[in-house]
Each structure stands twice: as structure tokens, then as C-alpha cells.
Amino acid sequence: MHDKVIYLLRHGETGLKDVYVGSSDVSLSAHGREELVKTCRKLSTVSFDSILCSPMKRCRQTVEEISTQCRIEVYDFLKEIDFGRWEQKTFAEIVKSDSKLVDAWVEQPETFCFPEGESLPRFHERIATAADTLYRLPGKTVLVVSHGGVIRHLLCQLLGISAKHYLLFDIMPGCYATVRLHREGGVLTGLNHKG
């Protein structure tokens, strides 16, 4: 495998602040679209061999802002985790209604399942599939348009860091990280780039 450069772009802002948004198929806010302009203009100058995108509306709207000849491939494994009944609630609201489950999430994150949502083991399987796909793709320059949680976990996977450290990466909306990927693993070369 030749070295390749992976760009990991988080979708723009949706206007939903301080709430859990995973499977909710929300759109970008007007401000989110404005914020993306410079970043997408910069990414439009890169000649991508592959572009992978989450099927969620906020990601598809983000990738549409990039002018490219490259075919955009949509993958379900790039969706954000499904927070179930915690969708669009604040942490304070969740603690109030589900404090025992919040404790379980903290104490046993490796087996936790969001109520009426996705389990963390299933999510980690999806991230492993995404990482494996990135390794196997032909070409040298790849763009992934996805979500904060997915990008954090993908970075852990590509850099060989335990998934429990995913919060070490602060992934800002409308910004991208870059990873140089070798056969042995990845090297982080940039974080929260904008245009």
C-alpha cells in the first residue's frame, strides 16, 4: 500500500447546540452553510481519488458545497451513532430522566447500548469497517464527510489509540482533520482546518 492522505470533514453546523444529535436527520443551518464556504472552496482545489459520505442530510448538504469531478459514494457505516430516546436532549435532561443509564454508560462504556438506540460495540464495528475501507481504497487522496463522533473514533482507529480516548479530539463543525495513512497505521497531520 502506498501512503495516502485522508481528509476527515465534519458536516457544518445544524443550529442544534448542546444536545445529542445522531440519527436525527437534520439539515444544516443557514449559518452552517455560510461557515462552510471557505473550507469547501479550499477542498475544491484538492484532486480527490475517492469521496465517502454519510447518508445523513447534513453531510450530503456539506459535500454538495465542494466542487469536484469525483463520484461521491454514500456509506451507512459513516452515520453518527443512534442515541435512541436521548436524541436532541441535553445531558442535563438525560441525567434527570435516565440517571441509572448514564451511570452504566460511564461505568461500562464497552458494552453500553443507548436506550432504544445503538450499542457502542455495534458502533465500533462500523468504525472498524470504515477504517478497513479506507485502507483498501485505491488512490492516494480520500475525503470522508461524516460526523463528530465518527471522526473521533476513526482517528483513534487509524492512529492506533484506544477508543476510550476519543474525547481527546475536539472535532469542530465544518472543519477537517488530515491523516497520512501508511501500511502500519496513520499519522495525524492536521486538525480543525478551515478554508
Neighbours of 173 (CB within 10 A): 21
CATH, domain range 4-193: 3.40.50.1240
Give pTM, 2 decimals.
0.95
**C-alpha cell of residue 194:** 478551515
Q: Rounded CA gap, 98 and 85, in Å?
A: 10
- Strands ordered across the beta sheet of 50-53: 72-74, 50-53, 141-146, 4-10, 176-182, 185-193
The pLDDT of residue 110 is: 87
Helical ranges in the chain per DSSP H:
30-43, 57-63, 91-107, 120-136, 148-159
Q: Could you please report the per-residue DSSP string of 47-60?
A: --SEEEE-SSHHHH
CB-based contacts of 36: which residues, under 8 Å, 6+ apart? 12, 28, 62, 65, 174
Q: b/e per residue, 101-113, with b = 16+ CB within 10 A? A: bbeebeeeeeebb
Domain ranges of the chain: 4-193
pLDDT at 1: 55
Give the pLDDT of residue 195.
Answer: 80
* Arithmetic mean of pLDDT over the chain: 96
List the chain residues with pLDDT less than 50. none
Give the pLDDT of residue 190.
97
Taking only the tens place, the pLDDT of each residue in 170-193 is: 999 999 999 999 988 999 999 999
